Amino acid sequence: MADAATLAFYQEQAPRYTMSFDQAPSRHLDGFLDRVSPGARVLELGCGGGRDSARIRERGFDLDATDGTPAMVRKANERFEIGARAMRFDQLDAEAAYDAVWAHACLLHVGRAELPAILAAVHRALRPGGWHYASYKLGTGEGRDRHGRLHNFPTEDWLETIYREARFAIADTQVYPGKGADGVMRDWMALTVRRP
C-alpha cells in the first residue's frame, strides 16, 4: 500500500483507531487457521492494532506480523508484544517463506492497477500448498471513503478473476454485511485461496 493519504490516516489515527474496535479476533480467523498445519509460518499483512496477530500466536503459529505504518506497529507491539515490523505491501519480497498469509481488511486499500503485483508477491511468498485469506469491501469502482482512504471497491466477479489470474485456486468465498471504520454498512467479500 503506497497511497500517501491512506498511510497518513493510519499513522495519525493509530491510537484512536486501535482503541475503537472490539479486541475479539476477526470472524474468519479461526476457520482459516484450522486449514493450516500446526506450528506453520504465518505472515500477517496489515496487522493494525494486533488483535488477529495475538490470536495467531496464541494458537501456536510462527507469526510474522507486519503493517505499513510505524504507528500501527508500535501500537500492536505495545498492546500484544507480537514483534510486529513495518512493511508495506509493495515491499513483500519473500519467496516460498510462509505457509499462510492472512490479510484481513487491508488489501482493500491497494489500487486496482497495483493489486495484481501485490497478489503475485503474496503467491511468491507462499510455499506450494500455502493458504491466503483476504477480505474486501465490495463496490463498483475505486474510490475514497469519508476519511480519504483509498479503496478498490471491487465486484465479486472482478475479485475472483484477479485471484485466478494470480494463479490462486479459490477454496471458499463468502459475502457478508459489515460496517467499516467510516461507519458505512456495505457488503464485504472474504476469499480463502491456495497456492497450488
pLDDT digits (tens, 9 = 90+) for 85-141: 999 999 999 999 999 999 999 999 999 999 999 999 999 999 999 999 999 999 999
Answer for the pair 102, 80: CB distance below 8 angstroms, yes or no.
no
Looking at residue 135, what is its pLDDT? 98
Is residue 24, in this structure, part of any structural domain at all?
no
**Neighbouring C-beta atoms of residue 61, cutoff 10 Å:** 22
> Which three-class secondary structure state does DSSP give residue 161?
helix
CA distance 71 to 124: 28
**pLDDT tens column, 48-58:** 999 999 999 99
Whether the pTM exceeds 0.85: the reply is yes
Is residue 23, in this structure, part of any structural domain at all?
no
Looking at residue 181, what is its pLDDT? 77
Q: Domain residues for 108? A: 4-17+29-194
Question: Would you give the end-to-end CA distance of the chain in angstroms?
Answer: 26
Question: Is residue 187 pLDDT above 60, yes or no?
Answer: yes
Looking at residue 128, what is its pLDDT? 98
Is residue 72, in this structure, part of any structural domain at all?
yes
Percent of the chain with pLDDT over 90: 84
Mean pLDDT across the chain, nearest whole number? 94
CA dihedral 95, 91, 103, 116 (to 10 degrees): -80
* Structural domains in the chain (count): 1
With both helix axes pointing from N to C terminus, report the angle between 70-80 and 51-58 in degrees, rounded to the nearest 10: 50
Q: Considering only 11-20, 88-97, 142-151, 158-167, which range has the smallest mean pLDDT? A: 11-20
> Residue 120 is part of a domain; what is its CATH number?
3.40.50.150
Is residue 95, in this structure, part of any structural domain at all?
yes
Is residue 151, in this structure, part of any structural domain at all?
yes
Is residue 22, in this structure, part of any structural domain at all?
no
